[in-house]
Structure 1
Amino acid sequence: MYELNQVGTNSYYIQGPAKIGIVKLNDTDVCLIDSGNDKDAGRKVRQILDANGWKLTAIYNTHSNADHIGGNKYLQTQTGCKIYASGIECDFTNHPLLEPSFLYGGFPPKDLRHKFLMAQESSAESLAEDILPVGMSSIPLPGHFFDMVGFRTADDVVFLADCLSSKETLEKYQIGFIYDVAAYLDTLEMVKTLKAAAFIPAHAEATDSIAPLVQINIDKVHGIADKILEICKKPIIFEKALQQLFNDYGLTMNFEQYVLVGSTVRSYLSWLKDTGRIAVIFENGQLLWAAIE
């Protein structure tokens, strides 16, 4: 864990719970793509930078999930580096309480206010193309989270953030977090057409051919949608539908999984309703979800 891997002339990644990109800008200066999940990750990154004689100038966050911005505060405090994030991701990075609040749908209890869902605050600025290093560009990857982006480096390495998961991760966790299902599927279809010297997903192995893994992720989304439609053949309240999904997929319920999977299932229900496959019924003070025959 936290080994340095070179994937291009000037592009590297650090293997961690979520991969951290390093891009050499010259002989001494580097920037990061994400910063890891906590202060300890930030410290390990700093040790790698120091061992190579590299100076950190900026962190470009793909999105604001805690496992991608958790090292921000430590590294910014230690190095004075700039931090950039796109759109709503910048707001969540500056105000990380927003993540557990959004997931829970209200003020989150202490059970959810921890480093896995709420990073320490860091000072981020809005990402714009003109502040990126020469030859580096951002790639919009909405769907998993609000305004997630990936990055293509000057040596043609594409960092894909959380827009797809490994086959093993999908088999283990079954229902991966998605904020906007329609946008997520559009992103996957776009990513399937990309060409690059190397692709670096945050939660899958580096590869020079991404399309097969993209298709596995697309198929998984449609499989989950079919499962939800089956559960909703008879009108059902959300909590009962969620319970059946947990039982059918063999998932273990705890507070984190309740908000992560629960939020995702609500997103699936919104998508299925907006595409005319599910209706809502208000009856006896309850909202019921019902598949349309």
Structure 2
Amino acid sequence: MYELVQVGEKTYYINCPAKIGIYKINDKDVCLIDSGNDKDAGRKINKLLNENEWSLKLIINTHSNGDHIGGNNFLQKKWNCEIISTPIENTFTSYPILEPSFLYGGYPCKELRNKFLMATASNTTGDVDNNLPKGLEYINLPGHFFQMIGIRTDDNIYFLGDCLFGENIINKYHLSFIYDVKEYLNTLDKVKNLKGKLFIPSHADTYEDITYLADININKVEDICCKICEFCEDNLIFEEILQRIFSFYNLKMDFNQYVLIGSTVRSFLSYLHDEGKIDIEFIDNKLIWKTIE
């Protein structure tokens, strides 16, 4: 784990739980694409930097989830490097309490104030519009999170963040976190049409052709939509829908999964409601979700 893999003249990735990109700005200076999930990840990245006699100048965060920004604070203290992303992702990175607060819908209790949902804050220094090194470009990949991006290097390598997940993860967990289902599907359609030498999702194998994996992710979203519509034929409140989702997919509920899957299911309900497939009604001071005949 944390093996360094070269995939282009200037492009590398670190094979770890959330893959990390490295791009050589010149013979000595490099930038990272994401930084792993915590201080320990930062230490392992720092060891690789020192072994290769590289100097870290910049971290580009694809988005602000804890497993992508967790090494920021440690590495920024070591290297005094810049940290950039899109405006909303920068805000969450600077104020990590926002993520568990957003997921929970109020002040998060102590069980939710953990490194998985709330990374250590780091000092964001700019946005990707004006601060990318020569040889890099970004693409907007919204859906999984607010303003997530991918990065393309001039080796024609794409780092795709969490816009899609590996087949093994989908088969085991079925639901991955999605903020905006419509934008998520639009992003997957966009990714299917990209042409590159290699595609590197954060939580999947690398692919020379990403179409197969994109289709698997699209199909799973469509299956979940059908299942929620089926459940809502019984006119349910949200907690009943969530319970049926966990039971149907054989998921184990804990507080982290309650807010992550719960937020995702709410996003599915919003999408299906906006698409005219389910309706809402308030009965006895309860919000009822029901399938439209």
- TM-score by structure 2 length? 0.99
Q: C-alpha displacement at 1:233, in angstroms?
A: 0.5
- The answer to whether the Cα contact below 8 Å between 1:2 and 1:15 also exists between their aligned partners in 2 is yes
Whether 2:210 is the aligned partner of 1:219: answer no
- The answer to whether the Cα contact below 8 Å between 1:34 and 1:62 also exists between their aligned partners in 2 is yes
Number of residue pairs the alignment of both structures matches: 293
Query: Corresponding residue for 2:59?
Result: 59
Whether 2:32 is the aligned partner of 1:35: answer no
Whether 2:103 is the aligned partner of 1:79: answer no
Superposed, 1:148-159 pairs within 5 Å as 148-159=148-159
CA deviation profile, 1:192-241 (whole Å, cap 9, x unmatched): 00000111000001111100100000000000000000000121000011
Query: Corresponding residue for 1:250?
Result: 250
- The answer to whether the Cα contact below 8 Å between 1:10 and 1:155 also exists between their aligned partners in 2 is yes
Whether 2:261 is the aligned partner of 1:261: answer yes
Letter of the structure 2 residue corresponding to residue 224 of structure 1 = I
- CA distance in 2 between counterparts of 1:265 and 1:170 reads 16
Letter of the structure 2 residue corresponding to residue 11 of structure 1 = T
Query: Corresponding residue for 1:136?
Result: 136
Q: C-alpha displacement at 1:126, in angstroms?
A: 3.4
- CA distance in 2 between counterparts of 1:176 and 1:53 reads 37
Query: Corresponding residue for 2:105?
Result: 105
Q: C-alpha displacement at 1:243, in angstroms?
A: 0.3
Q: Secondary structure at the match of 1:289?
A: strand
Letter of the structure 2 residue corresponding to residue 48 of structure 1 = L
Identical columns (%): 55
CA deviation profile, 1:82-105 (whole Å, cap 9, x unmatched): 000102101000000000000100
Letter of the structure 1 residue corresponding to residue 98 of structure 2 = L
- CA distance in 2 between counterparts of 1:171 and 1:101 reads 29
Query: Corresponding residue for 1:24?
Result: 24
Query: Corresponding residue for 1:175?
Result: 175
Q: Secondary structure at the match of 1:269?
A: helix
- CA distance in 1 between counterparts of 2:19 and 2:130 reads 25
CA RMSD of aligned residues (A): 0.6
- CA distance in 2 between counterparts of 1:87 and 1:275 reads 29
- CA distance in 2 between counterparts of 1:19 and 1:34 reads 8
- TM-score by structure 1 length? 0.99
Q: C-alpha displacement at 1:163, in angstroms?
A: 0.2
4+ long deviations beyond 3 Å: none
Letter of the structure 2 residue corresponding to residue 7 of structure 1 = V
Letter of the structure 2 residue corresponding to residue 202 of structure 1 = S
Unmatched tracts of structure 2, length 5 or more: none
Q: Secondary structure at the match of 1:282?
A: strand
Q: Secondary structure at the match of 2:233?
A: coil
- CA distance in 1 between counterparts of 2:87 and 2:12 reads 26
- The answer to whether the Cα contact below 8 Å between 1:129 and 1:137 also exists between their aligned partners in 2 is no
Whether 2:199 is the aligned partner of 1:199: answer yes
Q: C-alpha displacement at 1:135, in angstroms?
A: 1.9
Q: C-alpha displacement at 1:17, in angstroms?
A: 1.1
Q: C-alpha displacement at 1:129, in angstroms?
A: 3.0
- CA distance in 1 between counterparts of 2:273 and 2:249 reads 23
Query: Corresponding residue for 1:270?
Result: 270
CA deviation profile, 1:61-101 (whole Å, cap 9, x unmatched): 00000000000000000110000010210100000000000
- The answer to whether the Cα contact below 8 Å between 1:178 and 1:184 also exists between their aligned partners in 2 is yes
Unmatched tracts of structure 1, length 5 or more: none
- CA distance in 2 between counterparts of 1:126 and 1:188 reads 27
- CA distance in 2 between counterparts of 1:191 and 1:47 reads 33
- CA distance in 2 between counterparts of 1:285 and 1:126 reads 46
- The answer to whether the Cα contact below 8 Å between 1:163 and 1:184 also exists between their aligned partners in 2 is yes
